[in-house]
Amino acid sequence: MNSRDQILAAVKANQPAASALPDLDGFAAPGTAGVEAFRKVAETMGSRVITISSEAEIPALLKEYFSDMPLIVSADPAIAAWCPNAPVNWKEGDGRQLQHVDLAIVRAQLGVAENGALWLTEAALQVRVLPFIAQHLAVVLQADTILPTMHHAYNVIGDLRSGFGVFIAGPSKTADIEQSLVLGAHGAKSLTIIIV
Amino acid sequence: MHTPDLKDHAVLAAQFNANEPRVNWHDETLWWVRQKRDRMAWSLPEWEALRDAASAIKHNVLGNLHEYLLEFERNAIANGAAVHWAANAAEHNRIVLQLLQQQGVKRIVKSKSMLTEECHLNPYLAENGIEVIDTDLGERIVQLAKEPPSHIVLPCIHKKKEEIGELFHEHLGTPAGNADPQFLTAAARTHLRTEFLQSRVAITGVNFAVAETGEMVVCTNEGNADMGAHLADMHIACMGIEKLVPQRKHLGVFLRLLARSATGQPITTYSSHFSKPKPGQQLHIVLVDNGRSRQLGRADFRNSLKCIRCGACMNTCPVYRRSGGHSYHNAIAGPIGAILAPNLDMKQYADLPFASTLCGSCSNVCPVKIDIHQQLYKWRQVITEEGQAPASKAAGMKLMAAVLSSPGRYRFAGKAARWLLRTMPGLINNRFNPWYKQRELPEPPATSFAAWYKKNR
């Protein structure tokens, strides 16, 4: 018998009687999640939250906050138009071509108020490593896609299949040295959330 | 006594306790993490309901593990992954080595995986000429120090920043005497970026695997798993067979509990869902048993397989906090390690279930409600019945049982002890009596309670 069959047989012989799964509906009671609730948690997670009324304000915002960053790349076609320095072929390659990107701008499918997390899919990232390898990250989030909890989030994304998806809740961080919090471990050193 | 080649928690703890200020600092730091966890738990009115749900989901997983494993395998293969099965640590290591040799690589990156620690993958690959660079900062630090992690979430919690500065000076060329966490982290970022960019294979652990979708979720704060996996031509994900959850929506429960229990954050910075390899990439999933199916068959101990490796039981444990992770001489330390290890090797880890006060704090903070302290108590009985308890402990217990089961012997022993403590305290309060270590025995009462009651009733 090979290991696979051996393991499966042992598991089958030893597993206890089956029990029912709990009902999770009670955790996802209909409710609203305000921008303010999201902002408060996101800021404690180390994110910077900026609210704008229209995406047309993004170019001005880039000037105000990111003028010191020469190489800005966006995976979103509308926003990419405002990033003139991005190489046209930035999507081509195994991801290493992005090692000098200063700022990546991507679009979130939804945000979660209880923990400040943003759900990003492969389609929105174009290149999977983009939000990790860029020195800084900015995420555009529609205010009406903010949900109260992770249960609400999975109710939306549960059936959607993506090759890769990630919840990002703040800049990359570590507290491995004497529990001192340091932002910018391996991924983006800062996260700016632009709520529209 | 223990045979000399066996490691013993009490002996190792005594070594850790030699430096008292260090122990106090370790104790206070972990208690601070425990308090952060409490604040998070108290901020959610549904916290207890979440723990119940998590425990029930995991219970369902244990009862249907055979079916879920098949479902996961089917879906993972449909997603384009290759699935490997390893009956034990040695087979796991062989599978990984073979994949690395296929790729012809000599140096690879790995993100946090307690399973690969359990299997001693790094030394095995080193023997075969392949260097593994651990990329979690804490793990890289202990790797440079040639030590194992002392905590599953906070691998170098036993190290002071000055020691880390020293290590970085030696290995990464940072200026001598610089022990600033911000500076050292920046140095590690630069060093490990080079490794990520050079590495063609990345190994990651797995926090959760979903039967319904064949995907795996990996949680980090640093982003090291993602930097490794997305840049690599081959991603190898190593997981224990108990890591499954039935459906994607169940992740909501576990991701709400994991980081809150572990470090007191509402969620880790990154919760990455890997289902399909990126175009041109190979994704290999290694499913490891290594004793888990045996533990599944032990009715008293199978709940230990519900563990989501948050480390909350360690942060709260009065014994762990004051004895350090290395005193458990096992990849997983603390209360949860002490109930998992005897299943791997009852002789080698016979000391661990005794390294507890049975106060029950571990069970109270466990996000999946494992009855940890009850299992510690039950392991003691199994270990003693199997003849694996240290001879001195077994003899002491026999003597105790003989005294406590006979009122006459009990009365005599009490009288003798009171007389001895009064007239020759040195005979009892000496270094040969383990109960005298780090504590004074109380003043002996003039009379026993039984005698007092007879006189005063």
User: Is there a contact between A129 and B69 if contact means CB atoms under 8 Å apart?
Assistant: no
- Poorest-confidence range of A88-92, A190-194, B61-65, B68-72? A88-92
Res. B1: pLDDT tops 50: no
Q: Of B159 and B398, which is predicted with more confidence?
A: B159
Residues 49 through 88 of chain A touching chain B, CB cutoff 8 Å = none
Note the pLDDT of residue A29. Answer: 87
Which residues are CB-contacts of B350 (< 8 A; sequence separation ≥ 6)?
A: B6, B342, B383, B388, B389, B390
Average of pLDDT values for B162-171?
Answer: 97
CA distance A31 to chain B (A): 15
- Residue B378 tokens read as 């039950």
User: Is there a contact between A18 and B250 if contact means CB atoms under 8 Å apart?
Assistant: no
Considering only CB atoms, A14 lies closest to which of B255, B275, B293, namely B293
Note the pLDDT of residue B429. Answer: 73
Q: Choosing among A174, A180, A193, which should be mutated to test the B contact, i.e. which has the most B CBs within 10 A?
A: A174
Per-residue pLDDT tens for A132-179?
A: 999 999 999 999 999 999 999 999 998 777 899 999 999 999 999 999
Residues in chain B with CB shorter than 8 Å from the CB of A150 are: 251-252, 255-256, 267
Tally of residues, chain B:
457
How many degrees, rounded to 5, is the angle at CA B403 between CA B400 and CA B405?
105
pTM given for the model: 0.94
Q: ipTM value, please give it.
A: 0.97
How many degrees, rounded to 5, is the angle at CA A47 between CA B315 and CA B26?
20
CA distance A188 to chain B (A): 8
CA distance B338 to chain A (A): 22
- Poorest-confidence range of A154-168, B202-216, B342-356, B362-376? A154-168
A149 at B interface, C-beta within 8 A: yes
Residues in chain B with CB shorter than 8 Å from the CB of A172 are: 221-223, 269-270
CA distance A153 to chain B (A): 8
Mean pLDDT of all residues belonging to chain B = 94
A170: nearest CA in chain B? B269
Query: Phi and psi for B372 in degrees, rounded to 5?
Result: -60, -50
Q: Which of helix, strand or coil describes residue B203? A: strand
User: Is there a contact between A45 and B266 if contact means CB atoms under 8 Å apart?
Assistant: yes
A1 at B interface, C-beta within 8 A: no
Residues in chain B with CB shorter than 8 Å from the CB of A136 are: none
B280: nearest CA in chain A? A94
User: Is there a contact between B255 and A150 if contact means CB atoms under 8 Å apart?
Assistant: yes
CA distance A54 to chain B (A): 28
A22 at B interface, C-beta within 8 A: yes
- Poorest-confidence range of B19-28, B263-272, B382-391? B382-391
How many degrees, rounded to 5, is the angle at CA A101 between CA A98 and CA A104?
100
CA distance A70 to chain B (A): 20
User: Is there a contact between B270 and A166 if contact means CB atoms under 8 Å apart?
Assistant: yes
- The dihedral over CA atoms of B48, B53, B55, B61, expressed in degrees to the nearest 10, equals -170
Q: How far is CA B373 from CA B27, B38, B307, in A?
A: 20, 20, 14
A8: nearest CA in chain B? B66
A98 at B interface, C-beta within 8 A: no
Per-residue pLDDT tens for B236-286?
A: 999 999 999 999 999 999 999 999 999 999 999 999 999 999 999 999 999
Per-residue pLDDT tens for B48-99?
A: 999 999 999 999 999 999 999 999 999 999 999 999 999 999 999 999 999 9
Contact (CB, 8 A) for A90 and A126: no
Q: How far is CA A134 from CA A100, B311, B438, in A?
A: 7, 31, 53
The C-alpha R_g of chain A, in whole angstroms, comes to: 20
Nearest to residue A49, comparing CAs of A183, A135, A140, A110? A140
B229: nearest CA in chain A? A129
Res. B2: pLDDT tops 60: no
Q: Choosing among A6, A11, A23, A127, which should be mutated to test the B contact, i.e. which has the most B CBs within 10 A?
A: A11
Which residues are CB-contacts of B265 (< 8 A; sequence separation ≥ 6)?
A: A45, B40, B221, B259
Average of pLDDT values for B360-389?
Answer: 96
Considering only CB atoms, B269 lies closest to which of A14, A172, A182, namely A172
Query: Phi and psi for B240 in degrees, rounded to 5?
Result: -75, 150
Considering only CB atoms, B56 lies closest to which of A16, A22, A129, namely A22
Kindly give the residue spans of alpha helices, DSSP state H, lying in B79-219.
Answer: 89-103, 114-118, 121-127, 137-144, 161-172, 181-198
Q: Measured between alpha carbons, how far is B159 from B162 in angstroms, rounded to an integer?
A: 8
Note the pLDDT of residue B212. Answer: 96
Q: Measured between alpha carbons, how far is B276 from B283 in angstroms, rounded to an integer?
A: 8
- Residue B138 tokens read as 């804490």
Mean pLDDT of all residues belonging to chain A = 95
Per-residue pLDDT tens for A29-67?
A: 887 688 999 999 999 999 999 999 999 999 999 999 999
Note the pLDDT of residue B3. Answer: 55
Note the pLDDT of residue A38. Answer: 97
Q: Choosing among A5, A7, A106, A147, which should be mutated to test the B contact, i.e. which has the most B CBs within 10 A?
A: A7
Q: Which of helix, strand or coil describes residue A111? A: strand
